[in-house]
Chains A and B, each alone.
Chain A
Amino acid sequence: MNGERRLSGTVLIVGAIVASLVLVGVYLAAGGSSYEPEKVQNPCQPREWSDPQNLGQIANQFTISALDGAACQLGVSRETLARALATPEARERFEERYEIDDEKLAKAIRAGLVRAVDDAEEAGALSPLIAVPLREAVQQIPLEQAIEIINNAQGFLGDVDSFLGPADDIIEELLPGGLGGLALP
């Protein structure tokens, strides 16, 4: 009688262990240990430009490079900075949280724009003749304009001639058509 009781108790305990291990094992095998948000990339690491086919794609990657560069300078993620630049209120909260003033933010965004120009040039999406004056120009622009470029890179790149102003004539001479400065395929 006692032997039966002990056996029954043992069977119950072994059954409980097996059932628990099987269920946990199945869930782990199905990816339970890695079911979490994907980690975002370090903005200081280079991000490869895929083959840009049109102005929209170039603008996309230009924006991402600019955000990466600025975020790297500020020590935040590209994603955090992108959300911070979406609205003036978000920017205000961001500056308060990370104790960043307008001057520091402007410096970082200008650095980001320089990196975007570098990356675009390296990827063959921007002619060196445009890249050089553009690099110089973005280092002088005020904060609001720098943010506007990030938020509307397509508009900016589509009208880069007027942005460069006095350099426009030179560009026209070298690259008739303005937008031709973008080395589109």
Chain B
Amino acid sequence: MPQSPRPRVAALALAVGLVLADSSIVVLALPEIYRELDTSVSGVTWVLVSFNLVIALAAVPAALLARRVGPGRSAAVGLAVFAGAGLACGLADELSTLIVARCVQALGGALAVTAALELLPATVGSERRAAAVWASAGATGAALGPALGGFLTELVSWQSVFLLQVPVALVAAVPILAVARHEMATGIIEQEVRQTGRPHLWANLALAMVSAAIAAALFLLVLLLIEGWRLSPIEAALVVSVMPLAAVLSSKLADLVPDARSRAAAGAILVSGGLAALAFLPKATIALTVPPQILVGIGLALVLSALTETALGGRSPQAIHGGWTISSRHAGVVIGLLVLTPIFTADIEEQRHDAINAGTAVILDSSVNPLLKLDLAEKVSERLDDERGKVPTIGPAFEPKPADPAERAEVEQLQGELQDQLDRGATHAFSTSFILAALLGLIALFPIALSRRVDL
């Protein structure tokens, strides 16, 4: 090989982390994209769905291509495409342009990640070490993703989330170019590796189900925090960072239990338990989202490592089987988003309607001066008109407050009661989706249970 492996390992880890953390970085930008491109919740979901769908479809063919044309060339081209498409995403001023660019970006990402899986064992010296580098790169990306996405969106813009990926992808491509040049110079393209074992159907199926649940957890929680509870992207980013942080901190737990099937089952149960708890939040309070997130975080650390280990264990070539796991995970994300988006979109509209009715009832039944009440009802109506289809911010409708202290206190109490009804509606709107996501996690227990008995 033409150079010291350290920069190459770092570059490959960076490439894997960048592509696999894409969803968690971009999800924080979605509410801003939703507002700025004046689209619907279903429309903006396709910014995530398109990327994950293309990776799911392209991962295995990309792995085969990497073995045919050479992993160095494949990774370099993949990163260049990823960077170019990222630039197009950042410059997009229409949802359709953004979605097309995301599809191209996913193609580049699929090439880069699967080729990295092919390059890593040769670079670090063993398949086991390669898998460890790959897993920690993905975990680090997932841990930093939400915070990074939230900070960039709020401090710069949603476009910066994509534009920042351009230099990072190019930096990762530089050391890999040397490998590509070496492949071209020597003509070494495909290594003869004995094919051992077909893709592990049950582990990959379980990965898809669990990934659907985890993607739903992150996506739904971000929407609840930003669109429902009106948190800023930075605040939401800090809140949802609990999940990946818990995953990183509990990763050692997996070492204590060697049985992968038990770890996978326990992880799936924890993910489902956390999601079920999010479905039954007793109040719209950030602190109450922390314990469920910790369960989901620990669960994902256990289940993803166990299932990936099972899917790859004893199978060669790693890139092809790794391609299947990447495909399963991203297909799961697509399933989760496509199944849940129409459900929570309908629920948001229904709960918004119920919350507004309950809020209007609070105003009508209050003891506030009738003329002031009418004025408030009119202003609240105007707020609803201004923010059609969204959970309204009702604060401005209560300004300016009356000068009379008694009347002011009454109005403030009224505002609090109205806000409470809106919070109730916004929180309850996500309940059914969180329950369904929890069920997806529990469904994963079936393939996990079958993974030992019927080992394909």
**Contact surface of A with B, Cβ cutoff 8 Å:** 5-6, 8-10, 12-13, 15-17, 19-21, 23-24, 27-28, 30-33, 35-41, 56-57, 59-60, 63-64, 67, 77-80, 82-83, 86-87, 89-90, 151-154
Which residue numbers of B lie inside 8 Å of A, CB to CB? 256-259, 261-263, 265-267, 269-270, 272-274, 276-277, 279-283, 288, 291-292, 295, 299, 302, 351, 354-361, 364-365, 367, 369-371, 373-374, 377-378, 380-382, 384-385, 421, 424-425, 427-428
Known: A9-B259, A87-B381. A37 touches B374 (CB 8 A): no
Q: How far is the CA of A82 from the CA of B366 in the complex (A)?
A: 14
Which residues of A lie under 8 Å from residue B360 when comparing CB positions?
A: 40, 79-80, 82-83
Residue of A nearest to B421 (CB): A37
Q: Are A23 and B272 in contact (CB under 8 A)?
A: no
Contact (Cβ within 8 A) B263 A9: yes
Q: Find B370's partner among A12, A15, A28, A63 (CB 8 Å cutoff).
A: A63
Tell me if A38 and B382 are in contact (CB < 8 A): no
A140 to chain B, nearest CB (A): 25
Closest CB of chain B to A46's CB: distance in Å?
A: 15
Tell me if B's interface is mostly helix, strand, loop or mixed.
helix
Choose from B257, B282, B385, B428 the contact partner of A89 (Cβ within 8 Å). B385
Q: Do A36 and B354 touch (CB < 8 A)? A: yes
Chain B hits for A5, CB < 8 A: 257-259
Name the distance in Å between B351's Cβ and chain A's nearest Cβ.
7
Q: Decide yes or no: A79 and B259 within 8 Å by CB, A24-B280, A59-B370, A87-B381 being known contacts.
A: no
**Contact, CB under 8 Å: B273 / A21:** yes
In angstroms, Cα B356 to Cα A13, docked, is 43
Contact A20–B382 (Cβ < 8 Å): no
A12 touches B263 (CB 8 A): yes
Q: A9-B261, A82-B360, A83-B360 are in contact. Are A37 and B370 (CB under 8 A)?
A: no
Q: A5-B258, A90-B385 are in contact. Are A12 and B369 (CB under 8 A)?
A: no
Chain A residues within 8 Å of B367, by CB = 57, 60
Complex Cα distance, B298 from A12, in Å, reads 12
User: Which residues of B have CB within 8 Å of A60?
Assistant: 367, 370, 373
CB contacts (< 8 Å) of B274 on chain A: these are 20, 23
Residue of A nearest to B358 (CB): A37
Q: In the docked arrangement, what's the CA distance between A28 and B280, Å?
A: 6
Q: How far is the CA of A13 from the CA of B355 in the complex (A)?
A: 40
**B377 close to A86 (CB less than 8 A):** yes
How close is A78's CB to chain B, nearest CB, in angstroms? 7
Nearest-neighbour CB distance to chain B for A132, whole angstroms, equals: 25
Q: Could you tell me the distance between the alpha carbons of A33 and B355 in the complex, rounded to whole angstroms?
A: 16
Residue from A10, A37, A41, A57 in contact with B354 in the complex, judged by beta carbons closer than 8 Å: A37
Q: Are B374's CB and A8's CB within 8 A?
A: no
Question: Which interface residue of A8, A36, A151 has the most chain B CB atoms within 10 A?
Answer: A36
Question: Do B361 and A23 touch across chains, with their CB atoms under 8 A apart?
Answer: no
**Contact of A23 with B266 at beta-carbon distance under 8 Å, contacts A35-B427, A36-B428, A151-B374 already known:** no
CB pair B385–A64 under 8 Å, yes or no, is no
- The tally of CB-CB contacts under 8 A between chains A and B is 156
Whether B370 and A154, one on each chain, are in contact in the complex, defined by CB atoms closer than 8 angstroms, is: yes
Q: Is B358 touching A38 in the complex (CB atoms < 8 A)?
A: yes
What are the residues of chain A within 8 A of B267 when measuring CB–CB? 16
Q: Return B346 CB to nearest CB of chain A, in Å.
A: 15
Scoring A5, A24, A63 by chain B CB atoms within 10 A of each residue's CB, the highest score goes to A24
Which residues of B have CB within 8 Å of A38? Answer: 358, 361, 421, 424
With A and B bound together, what is the CA distance between A89 and B267 in angstroms?
53
Closest to A12 in B: B266
Contacts of B259 in A (CB 8 A): 5-6, 8-9
Q: Are B273 and A82 in contact (CB-based, < 8 A)? A: no
Contact A32 B282 (CB under 8 A): yes
3 closest A-B pairs (Cβ-Cβ)? A20-B273, A9-B262, A32-B280
Q: Is the CB of B364 within 8 A of A78?
A: yes
Residues in B neighbouring A80, C-beta threshold 8 A:
357, 360
Instruction: Provide the residues of chain B in CB contact with A27, threshold 8 Å.
Output: 277, 280-282, 288
A9: chain B residues at CB < 8 Å are 257, 259, 261-263, 266
13 additional contacts (CB under 8 A) given A36-B427, A83-B377: A10-B262, A12-B262, A17-B269, A20-B276, A21-B273, A23-B295, A32-B279, A32-B280, A35-B428, A40-B357, A60-B373, A67-B364, A79-B356
Residue in chain A with minimal CB distance to B374:
A151
| Contact with B270, one of A20, A28, A83, A153 (Cβ below 8 angstroms) | A20
Assess the B262–A37 pair: CB atoms within 8 A: no
Between-chain CB contacts (< 8 Å), 12 pairs:
A9-B261, A16-B273, A17-B269, A24-B280, A31-B282, A37-B355, A37-B359, A40-B360, A57-B367, A78-B364, A86-B381, A87-B378
Q: Which one of A20, A63, A90 lies within 8 Å of B272 (CB-CB)?
A: A20
Distance in angstroms between the alpha carbons of A104 and B377 in the assembled complex? 23
B414 vs chain A, min Cβ distance (A): 14
Chain A's nearest CB lies how many Å from the CB of B171?
Answer: 40
Contact A33 B370 (CB under 8 A): no
Residues of A contacting B302 with CB < 8 Å? 12
CB pair A24 B370 closer than 8 Å: no
B260 to chain A, nearest CB (A): 9
Asked whether A16 lies within 8 Å of B361 as measured between CB atoms, the reply is: no
Q: Which of B277, B283, B358, B427 contacts A24 (CB 8 A)?
A: B277
- The interface residues of chain B lying within 8 Å CB-to-CB of A86 are 374, 377-378, 381
User: Known: A16-B299, A56-B370. Is A35-B424 also a contact (CB below 8 A)?
Assistant: yes
Q: How far is the CA of A180 from the CA of B156 in the complex (A)?
A: 66
